[in-house]
Amino acid sequence: MNSLAWLTLAPILTPLGFGLGLLWPWRRPVRVGLALTGALLTLAFALGLLFATADGTVLVGELGGWPAPFGIVMTADQLTAWVSVLGAVSALLAVWQAAADPDPVREKHHLLALMQFLFAGVQLSFLTGDLFNLFVAFEVMLVASYALAVLGSTREQLREGFRYIVMNLAASALLVVACGLSYGVLGTLNLAHLAQRSAELGPNTTVTAVGVLLLIVFAAKGALFPLGFWLPGTYPALPPAVGTFFAAVLTKVGVYALLRVFTTVFVQEAGVTNTLLLGLGTVTMLYGALGAASQREWRRILSFLVVSSVGYLAFGLGVGTVEAVRASVGYFAVSVLVTTALFSIATVAERASGSPLVRVRGMLDALPLLAGCFLLCALTVAGLPPSGGFVAKYALVRAGLAEGSPLALLAVASALLSSLITLYAMLNVWRGFFWGQHPSWLPVYRVPRPLRASAYAASALVAGLTLFAGPLFARADATAAELRDNARYIRGVLGDRPVMIPEPPTGGEVK
């Protein structure tokens, strides 16, 4: 075992431990300090994973000393470390936002503790090396998210929360069925061992059917059309800090699962799943962009943009080439950071205007720096130069054109059209909220400086995507190359010796 294997558990146990500590009735400054410390430590451990796996090392943490595939293992390669860092960054900004925007009622019911449990579930989803434990991770994450979705008990929260819970419970039930079928067909649930067994069987209709079932589950978790119908109504009903993290990261957990399973495990007969992903991505991009253009409230517009961004990620996965996967990995970072920034900006804008609507007009004079941050994020989410979003979308479009199939070309057309519609939606927000003369009878409310600072910090990270696009895509390139060679992941988890599965008991052993 690598001496740094403990790092695979650290980003999970840290928020879990701080979440338990936050259940104690501390005074608010202590609770806030603990929550921020927990998020900072989680980010530090995730960065440790990033450096430890930069040379292609696969870290494996064996729980109880039982080796894979027979025991529970946590694994970290370049992809895992990458998404773990992005999740931790978004978590830190969400805690910062919650700390700067006191909510006595929800905090009394353990808002900060539930957020830490949610972070632990997300990190467990990224780091687990086992399909069944991925289900467990989803449940840990979703139990916390269910509580956060209805915390406050407004009518809108209860209505949308019920839809969110029912949808995710159905997807979880389907995941259990998929786990059972995977074990029945391949005799294991460890991801590396599944990849090995799948390669031994070669193209196989039953294995492909299991893969399609998993695709449906993860598409529901990732909110791909038409399975993402719950998202645009649910996220606007959440408390602001919680909504920021939900929008930036929760759908990306489903996308990460798609990336892991369909670039590492089920790669023998990828045509069917890639075609499905490409088709779903094509429709999702357009659906999200049209939905954003049709809305007039900050969070509803941004929620549809979250749906559209998932479509772009599915587009890259569906094309399936190394260049396309590289573009998807790069776009993953762009999507997480720009979504975090836009939802943080929306929080400040709603507090300043006292309204969830974007039709306020003339807020440029009162919030000039926020307007600059919004413009930067609008360019990024629409994919215009010189933003990091342009680099990522350009790479996706180029990969689609290189693939050249009719469906890939249709996806390229959808991506370009969606970008134009997204730009239109963003310009509508700019014109409606920042531009023009502010009505004298409408007040401009004071927004706490720490709350504004959280939006500026998130926007600075989006600016960093432009300044450091080269290193960002070099990292994405290395990750895509590693995903292309799944033998390295299999060797890293299972070692070089063949796995000997014990024969099933026949009953004759009992005397």
Q: Is residue 436 part of a domain?
A: yes
Of the CA atoms within 13 Å of residue 37, those in its CB half-sphere come to 11
Closest among 206, 244, 253 to 350, alpha carbons compared: 244
- pTM value is 0.93
Amino acid at 239: P
The whole-number pLDDT of residue 27 equals 92
CB 38 within 8 A of CB 26: no
Dump pLDDT digits (tens) for 145-171. 888 887 776 777 777 778 888 888 888
Q: Is residue 510 part of a domain?
A: no
What is the distance between the alpha carbons of residues 376 and 393, in angstroms, rounded to a whole number? 16
CB 101 within 8 A of CB 241: yes
Measuring CA to CA, how many Å separate 426 from each of 107, 420, 422? Answer: 33, 10, 6
Of the CA atoms within 13 Å of residue 123, those in its CB half-sphere come to 31
Q: Which domain holds residue 464?
A: 5-494
The whole-number pLDDT of residue 331 equals 94
User: Which helix (H) or strand (E) segment is 131 a member of?
Assistant: helix 131-150
User: Helices in 261-405 by DSSP H: which ranges?
Assistant: 270-294, 298-319, 322-353, 368-382, 388-403
Phi, psi of 510 (to 5 degrees): -85, 120
What are 148's two structure tokens?
């956060």
What is the distance between the alpha carbons of residues 418 and 311, in angstroms, rounded to a whole number? 10
Closest among 142, 141, 137 to 125, alpha carbons compared: 137
Calculate Rg over the CA atoms of the chain.
Answer: 22
The total domain count for the chain is: 1
What is the distance between the alpha carbons of residues 140 and 122, in angstroms, rounded to a whole number? 8
Quote the crossing angle between the two packed helices 205-222 and 270-294, to the nearest 10°. Answer: 20
Cβ atoms within 10 Å of 156's Cβ, excluding its own: 13
Q: Is residue 504 part of a domain?
A: no
Q: Is residue 404 part of a domain?
A: yes
Phi, psi of 128 (to 5 degrees): -70, 145
User: Which helix (H) or strand (E) segment is 59 a member of?
Assistant: strand 59-62
Torsion of CA 360, 364, 368, 373, to 10 degrees: 60
Closest among 453, 321, 445, 312 to 391, alpha carbons compared: 312
Phi, psi of 317 (to 5 degrees): -65, -40
The whole-number pLDDT of residue 503 equals 58
Amino acid at 457: A
Query: Quick one: CA dihedral 50, 52, 58, 62, positive or negative?
Result: negative
Dump pLDDT digits (tens) for 355-409. 999 988 889 989 999 999 999 999 999 998 888 889 999 999 999 999 889 999 9
Q: Is residue 271 part of a domain?
A: yes
What is the distance between the alpha carbons of residues 352 and 97, in angstroms, rounded to a whole number? 15
Q: Is the peptide bond before 450 cis (omega within 30 degrees of 0)?
A: no
Report DSSP state, residue 128: B
What are 153's two structure tokens?
């008990």
Q: Is residue 501 part of a domain?
A: no
Instruction: Give the angle subtended at the CA of 160 by the CAs of 239 and 12, to the nearest 5°.
Output: 55
The whole-number pLDDT of residue 511 equals 47
Among left, alpha and beta (phi > 0; psi -120 to 50; other), residue 361 is: left
The whole-number pLDDT of residue 500 equals 65
Measuring CA to CA, how many Å separate 425 from each of 31, 296, 378? Answer: 39, 10, 9
What is the distance between the alpha carbons of residues 403 and 327, in angstroms, rounded to a whole number? 14
Report DSSP state, residue 63: G
Report DSSP state, residue 504: P
Q: Is residue 209 part of a domain?
A: yes
What are 45's two structure tokens?
């451990």
Report strand pairing: 59-62 vs 73-76.
Answer: antiparallel
Among left, alpha and beta (phi > 0; psi -120 to 50; other), residue 247 is: alpha
- Per-residue model confidence as pLDDT tens for the chain (511 residues): 567 888 999 999 999 999 999 999 899 999 999 999 999 999 999 999 999 999 888 999 888 778 878 888 999 999 999 999 999 999 999 999 999 988 888 888 899 999 999 999 999 999 999 999 999 998 888 888 888 887 776 777 777 778 888 888 888 899 999 999 999 988 889 999 999 888 888 788 888 898 999 999 999 888 898 888 888 888 888 888 999 999 999 889 999 999 999 888 887 777 888 999 999 999 999 999 999 999 999 999 999 999 999 999 999 999 988 899 999 999 999 999 999 999 999 999 999 999 999 988 889 989 999 999 999 999 999 998 888 889 999 999 999 999 889 999 999 999 999 999 999 999 999 999 999 888 888 888 999 999 999 999 999 999 998 888 888 888 888 888 888 888 888 888 887 766 665 555 565 654 4
Q: Is residue 102 part of a domain?
A: yes
